[in-house]
Amino acid sequence: MRWSYSPEDGPKCTMEPFVCKKKDKKTAHSPVQGTKHKIKEMADRRSSMGSSSDDPPNSRLFIIGPKTLTEEDFRRTFQEFGHIEEIWVVKDRNTGENKGVTYIKYSKTSAAAKALETMNGKIIGGGGGRSIKVMIAASREQGSKRDLNEEEKIQRLFVVVPKSMTDSELYDYFKQFGDIDYASIIKDKNTRESKGFAYVKYIKFSHAATAFEQCDRKYKPVFAEPRKSNVSRNDDRSFSSTSFDTNMSKNALPGPPEQFSNDGYNKLVVIASPSVNQDQLWKLFDIIPGMEYCQLHYDGDRVRPTRAIAEVVYANPQWASYAKEKLHGFEYPPGYRLIVRAEYDNMRSPFGSKSSNTEKQKPDILQIAQTIAQASNLMQAAGLSPDLLQQKLGLLPAGKESTNYCNVKLPDPQPFANIDEETAARCFIVCTPSALPNSVLKDIFCRFGNLIDVYMLNNRNCGYAKYASKASADDAIKTLHGAEICGNRIKVMEAEERPDSSRKRQRIDVESPF
């Protein structure tokens, strides 16, 4: 079963008028100016494929019905759902006999959707009392063969989302268009970071169609291709504690390790619920870059261990410190907080010899047994809801802000801007020697409030942070410019305006003074 966000709070619809950029389909008209009357051209809009093409997608219906039905029968009953480009009642080429098959091409997908949902199975005048069957027409290339999971094709959208967007934010935005089955952001299997794409599946085709047409164009919606495997047998195969991903892309790591400083540590000791296994802990700590090693053993009885203890080693002290800050106290599994402390390989704790074993309460057996029982269910949820984790990673309690992965004092984490707010200001970011992962960028740049999105350009050490408030962007620049984060120096400046194609060609004076 795929994880999907389920809502817990009431509806908060913020319907914003969005800037409607024109679709850049291949049917684009040449920008001829001077046409005063472009009234009826919309009705005539035809690409070279004619109106039988599937543009926009899923806007053509395929109808099976009584052979007695005429084009007018269909027009009468189908025109109320939206503008019809063409009705074609298929007739035998030779005999001229009605074959009982009709295509209706709408201008809009949503019209086809409403027509389908309303008219499928209905009896219409002239049909002699027998009902019609209404489907979405397959493409001409595809012919008459139909997919097994056809509904996925018309209920599910594939969208581009900001890297900072979470599943719940995605859900909250897209629920304004209708009832959502699930809203799910695609994430890197190892790092759990958003890949910047998502699936949104609706209960009804018409709701998917509305979202497809009316959502902010920045989401670049398309109807998703159905998944390849039609048989989705969902065994919950238990995690194997020995199956590690050996192909983890360490090349995505930010930069070479800093010079190891003697008063740092790069090893952590983690105490966790005995229901945690090594694979799970590995994946959790591998969210923070630079993890090199994670070895877990159990304390106490082999059959009924009292706790799990792990050593986790990072490539450099900065990441180890970051991991400690972010994961100490984190509930994993829910109901059981991780204890993460530094292990000084070479003696010398900056805090002195603070053997604080006393305050780390050893939970009693009974408590643990209960925890295990609950955790077995919750664990999977925790493992499958990385966004929750990501949120927590960015939003740990303000009390623990020693932030020794960062050399400047940072404000507390702030909530992100609403996803549909306009960008008011952008920062240009340069990281040297190398880029920071997105989870860190989010954590750092959200602290000035009103952050819309932050990302690095592909395979480069520079990127942008978008804010919904100029003041927030200015604050970020003031605080972060020149700071060192996890061993990387960052520069944060006001971004220059993007070379915008919509802008009128700038006339640059190239005239030579000579």
- Whether residue 123 contacts residue 73, with contact meaning beta carbons closer than 8 Å, is answered with no
First to last CA, the chain: 73
Peptide linkage before 56 cis (omega within 30 of 0) = yes
CA distance 329 to 387: 17
**Residue 13 vs 381, nearer CB to DNA:** 381
- Whether residue 336 contacts residue 375, with contact meaning beta carbons closer than 8 Å, is answered with yes
Binding residues for DNA, per CB under 7 A?
A: 2, 50-52, 62, 64, 86, 88, 90, 93, 99-101, 103, 133, 135, 137-140, 142-144, 146, 158-163, 186-187, 189, 195-197, 199, 218, 220-222, 224-227, 229, 232, 234-235, 237, 383-384, 428, 430, 453, 455, 457-458, 460, 462, 464, 491, 493, 495-499
Write the burial class of residue 404 (CB in 10 Å: 0-12 exposed, 13-18 middle, 19+ buried): middle
**Residue 234 vs 355, nearer CB to DNA:** 234
- Whether residue 417 contacts residue 450, with contact meaning beta carbons closer than 8 Å, is answered with yes
Q: β-pairing, 194-202 with 133-136? A: unpaired
**Residue 321 vs 391, nearer CB to DNA:** 391
**Residue 232 vs 357, nearer CB to DNA:** 232
**Residue 158 vs 293, nearer CB to DNA:** 158
Q: Measure Cα distances from 211 to 125, 207, 224, 300, 418 in Å.
A: 33, 6, 13, 55, 18
**Residue 369 vs 384, nearer CB to DNA:** 384
CA distance 290 to 108: 50
Question: Taking the complex as a whole, how short is the minimal distance between the CB of residue 233 and DNA, in angstroms?
Answer: 7
Which of 291, 297, 293 lies closest to 276 in space, CA to CA?
297
**Residue 76 vs 220, nearer CB to DNA:** 220
Question: Taking the complex as a whole, how short is the minimal distance between the CB of residue 311 and DNA, in angstroms?
Answer: 23
Torsion of CA 9, 15, 18, 24, to 10 degrees: 70
Peptide linkage before 333 cis (omega within 30 of 0) = yes
How crowded is residue 388: how many other Cβ atoms within 10 Å of its Cβ?
18
| Cα 449 off chain centre by | 21
Question: Taking the complex as a whole, how short is the minimal distance between the CB of residue 3 and DNA, in angstroms?
Answer: 8
Question: Taking the complex as a whole, how short is the minimal distance between the CB of residue 128 and DNA, in angstroms?
Answer: 13
Question: Taking the complex as a whole, how short is the minimal distance between the CB of residue 272 and DNA, in angstroms?
Answer: 19
Question: Taking the complex as a whole, how short is the minimal distance between the CB of residue 222 and DNA, in angstroms?
Answer: 4
CA distance 427 to 490: 12
Question: Taking the complex as a whole, how short is the minimal distance between the CB of residue 29 and DNA, in angstroms?
Answer: 11
Q: Scanning the structure block, which residue is given the tokens 């993890």?
A: 291
Taking CA 423 as the corner, what is the angle to CA 420 and CA 425, rounded to the nearest 5 degrees? 155
Count Cβ neighbours within 10 Å for each residue of 35-54 and write b for 16 or more, e otherwise.
Answer: eeeeeeeeeeeeeeeebbbb
Q: Measure Cα distances from 364 to 140, 369, 371 in Å.
A: 68, 9, 11
**Residue 346 vs 501, nearer CB to DNA:** 501
Question: Taking the complex as a whole, how short is the minimal distance between the CB of residue 443 and DNA, in angstroms?
Answer: 16
**Residue 160 vs 471, nearer CB to DNA:** 160
Question: Taking the complex as a whole, how short is the minimal distance between the CB of residue 372 and DNA, in angstroms?
Answer: 20
Structure tokens at 403: 């932030």
- Whether residue 117 contacts residue 204, with contact meaning beta carbons closer than 8 Å, is answered with yes
- Whether residue 479 contacts residue 448, with contact meaning beta carbons closer than 8 Å, is answered with yes
**Residue 120 vs 403, nearer CB to DNA:** 120
**Residue 55 vs 453, nearer CB to DNA:** 453
Provide the sign of the torsion angle of the four alpha carbons 172, 178, 179, 181, taken in this order. negative
DSSP character at residue 328: T
**Residue 156 vs 307, nearer CB to DNA:** 156
Question: Taking the complex as a whole, how short is the minimal distance between the CB of residue 492 and DNA, in angstroms?
Answer: 9
Question: Taking the complex as a whole, how short is the minimal distance between the CB of residue 369 and DNA, in angstroms?
Answer: 26
Question: Taking the complex as a whole, how short is the minimal distance between the CB of residue 342 and DNA, in angstroms?
Answer: 29
**Residue 224 vs 288, nearer CB to DNA:** 224
Question: Taking the complex as a whole, how short is the minimal distance between the CB of residue 322 and DNA, in angstroms?
Answer: 21
Taking CA 431 as the corner, what is the angle to CA 429 and CA 436, rounded to the nearest 5 degrees? 100
